Structure 1
């Protein structure tokens, strides 16, 4: 007999736990009780975190004041990721949240740009991208317009530990009950295998109908207790370690994340208002911990504020992110390295997916299957986007990059690369969180220049096309006069 879901227990706090608690409490009716169990004895991964634009929707749903959020999490604006040394050492391109160019007809802007380029035009694709122009000048401001020509999508960099604390206050004010304690034992129904309660070290027992596993990579409920299998993707993404260290903030705060390819991995730089977040992602099969430490510390731009902390991981996903009466959210559901800042988005999308399929009078197998199918497809499309960066490279300075270039890749990604190389067309799945413009920027930034373009781009005469592109080029520069230096914008906007 199915049991109505009236008591939801969230195991684990941190960013995943408190994002889950706050959104569930905001949306669910009051007769559904929410309880979060966490222990201050268990540390959280409190690094500088970079996000993608949908985080704005999450914050707005909770009614969060953006100015207060920016102040309390030491946040900065993020317009793009700067990829440096990825195709070859010494080269750089931007993956922005903008869409280069404008809508000119039936096909994407890149087709018109490619035709003009083949006829001798010299402007880069990023010359038509407002986000890119602001990044190059270190500027930002809000634009009050509905004109898609001036669309400037943005996200944030923030301290993830402070974000969790910020959300905790909101969740507790809305009625989420927090219990401090270590989970010592997980009780299960002997017939169904469903989890029935968490027994804490203090002796307290917390019963529930639905459990959310936010215990991080330990995956205490889903993998350790219920035995959910883990699908390993390290043959595509072999990085298995990271070192993270904070450093003093720079005098001028860039409005973008930096991702700098090194001989056997890549280094991140995330600017916050009080410090910089730094780290290096690498594979222990190609680089020793000592060499990784030296590479990271030797390439800091400001003074280190602590000693580096090592993180270990295995890229992949839980085969069932909803199993029996447990839903895994955050690192317990899987891990994809933070190359494209998708960690927090995967938390957000997992919660939203659960909200759409939330059980009322009982957990329905059809909803569980649908949840798992959508989760699988989302993880795989992000995985393929990350593989793209590694696979399409022309570096010849290490075995790591040569092996990444020569490895077999997922068939779906191979088809997508081939289609773009031949026709400059992008074909995306509905679950893909990255827009066509993201794939275009990364593919071209990594050196994939298509051989052909859509015939619609041949409709305007060349002179007319060049005039149109010049108008777009000029229009993209108009808002720059309204822009402020990034730090000046933050000071004025937040009052900090």
Structure 2
């Protein structure tokens, strides 16, 4: 069927990671439509710029915009990430790892973890992490490219990247403009709405220029200039579940030595601290709840924990966990902070931008912007946010930091209905509940349950298809297979030096 009113122009309000991801992706995926795409951003307005850790889906984005991973690593001071290490969440001094990979090998239609649970009850002491290649690579500081055709599930793993967010945005800007995207560096003075239907007609710049468009993408950050301010879409507040509302970010000089191929999230008095190792510096930040500590006290905690010289003044941020009631309203779609915010505990900020773009392209409208397409987009977006919220809440509710006011409070937060259903199925019989738009799959939930030692009441009776002697031998062979694969890996530092060239960290001052 012929589209009678095709979209001819898209205006993206705001640059940064969200704006330039949108520009690059839309220019590539919709190149056949010959769209006029314009990014309006002001170099005088800073961006948050702390979304520097990703999940493996970012590799799909690279492929979609025809960016080579070595180029991204080279241009953004990037490093490899096999997952996230959680320090002190179960208890001070204890740690566990959330990997980008599978655990063990299923047999006779029974998931591996059911066999492992059976053998744990029988006295087997090898931890679950011994059966995950991604965890072992991360802990040993090694790199191995995932195989396209692994022999079995022991070889199934993936990786993401850490990068300098400002350098990543600059890389995307160069790519987008090379593909015909127009870049306007100016402040927006006002937003004009259509008298006919209330949609956004144009943005007017502070120098008087008027930039009209058929479709607008709001990447204006927390202000949500189009979706929130101009169209009045309300914000859904989730502080009852995720009360952290502040963050302080301070980059520091990288110490000598190889950057580890992992992100670290360390529990602190009133929240948690991120540690993101790049080649030229370390990204550090403290996400906290202002009900349990002051801004100055939080800054003191973060400053005292830096491993090298601070490279910038502290950047203090305020936010509210939640999302806009609608992500697509009339002819405006919001991405990134303009659409909502979930603390970066599982590095989901960039993947939410990416998935939003993928959904939007799949539902790409004509100029009428059929409300049914927007309703579909909004339903999917809300579900995705809710699924991630529940996974983040699990981290907090399962903590074992008894006697600390913030952590005691978080254990008392009632679970959402979605989280309760998942917890009930797990605790009763080690089963996973899978939902539409789940960002985190079974292995991720398993890593959390195991890390917090939240064990089910029993293992599945299907795991009794093998006796304990058989399983002991099978599990030993799996551990040997993982150890054997590690012998083919190379040090993370050697991989970076080979792929990007040059040194992997800045010299000491």
Shared fold by TM > 0.5? yes
Contact kept, 8 Å, 1:48 with 1:157, in 2: the verdict is no
- The equivalent of 1:81 in structure 2 is 84
Of residues 417, 442, 445 in structure 1, which corresponds to 2:451? 445
Instruction: Give the secondary-structure state (helix, strand or coil) at the position aligned to 1:277.
Output: strand
Once the two structures are TM-superposed, the CA of residue 409 in structure 1 deviates from its matched residue by: 1.8
Once the two structures are TM-superposed, the CA of residue 410 in structure 1 deviates from its matched residue by: 0.5
Q: Distance in 1 between matches of 2:367 and 2:296?
A: 55
- The equivalent of 2:102 in structure 1 is 99
- The equivalent of 1:133 in structure 2 is 136
Of residues 37, 44, 48 in structure 2, which corresponds to 1:41? 44
Once the two structures are TM-superposed, the CA of residue 397 in structure 1 deviates from its matched residue by: 3.0
Give a deviation string over 1:215-249, Cα, whole Å, max 9, x none. 00010000001000000001111111001001111
**1:64 matches 2:80:** no
Cα distance change, pair 42–107 in 1 and its aligned pair in 2 (3 A): same
Q: Distance in 1 between matches of 2:399 and 2:429?
A: 20
Contact kept, 8 Å, 2:51 with 2:350, in 1: the verdict is no
Q: Distance in 2 between matches of 1:420 and 1:313?
A: 32
Once the two structures are TM-superposed, the CA of residue 48 in structure 1 deviates from its matched residue by: 6.0
- The equivalent of 1:21 in structure 2 is 23
Of residues 364, 382, 398 in structure 1, which corresponds to 2:404? 398
Q: Distance in 1 between matches of 2:313 and 2:202?
A: 39
Q: Distance in 1 between matches of 2:146 and 2:184?
A: 43
Contact kept, 8 Å, 1:315 with 1:337, in 2: the verdict is yes
- The equivalent of 2:321 in structure 1 is 315
Instruction: Give the secondary-structure state (helix, strand or coil) at the position aligned to 2:77.
Output: coil
Q: Distance in 2 between matches of 1:65 and 1:134?
A: 22
Q: Distance in 2 between matches of 1:478 and 1:48?
A: 35
Of residues 298, 302, 320 in structure 1, which corresponds to 2:304? 298
Give a deviation string over 1:281-321, Cα, whole Å, max 9, x none. 00111110111011111112222222211011110000100
- The equivalent of 2:124 in structure 1 is 121
Q: Distance in 2 between matches of 1:326 and 1:202?
A: 23
Contact kept, 8 Å, 1:45 with 1:161, in 2: the verdict is no
- The equivalent of 1:11 in structure 2 is 13
The size of the alignment, in residue pairs, is: 496
TM-score normalised to the size of structure 1? 0.98
Give a deviation string over 1:338-363, Cα, whole Å, max 9, x none. 00000000000011010000013531
Contact kept, 8 Å, 2:29 with 2:64, in 1: the verdict is no
- The equivalent of 1:216 in structure 2 is 221
**1:277 matches 2:279:** no
- The equivalent of 1:490 in structure 2 is 496
Give a deviation string over 1:84-138, Cα, whole Å, max 9, x none. 1111111100000011112223232110100011111110000101111112211
RMSD, aligned CA: 1.4
**1:233 matches 2:235:** no
Of 367-376 and 414-423, deviating more is: 414-423
Once the two structures are TM-superposed, the CA of residue 430 in structure 1 deviates from its matched residue by: 2.3
Unaligned runs of 5+ in 2: 503-509
Q: Distance in 1 between matches of 2:407 and 2:67?
A: 43
Structure 1 segments of 4+ aligned residues over 3 angstroms from their partners: none
Q: Distance in 1 between matches of 2:227 and 2:235?
A: 10
- The equivalent of 1:381 in structure 2 is 387
- The equivalent of 2:171 in structure 1 is 166
Contact kept, 8 Å, 2:248 with 2:314, in 1: the verdict is yes
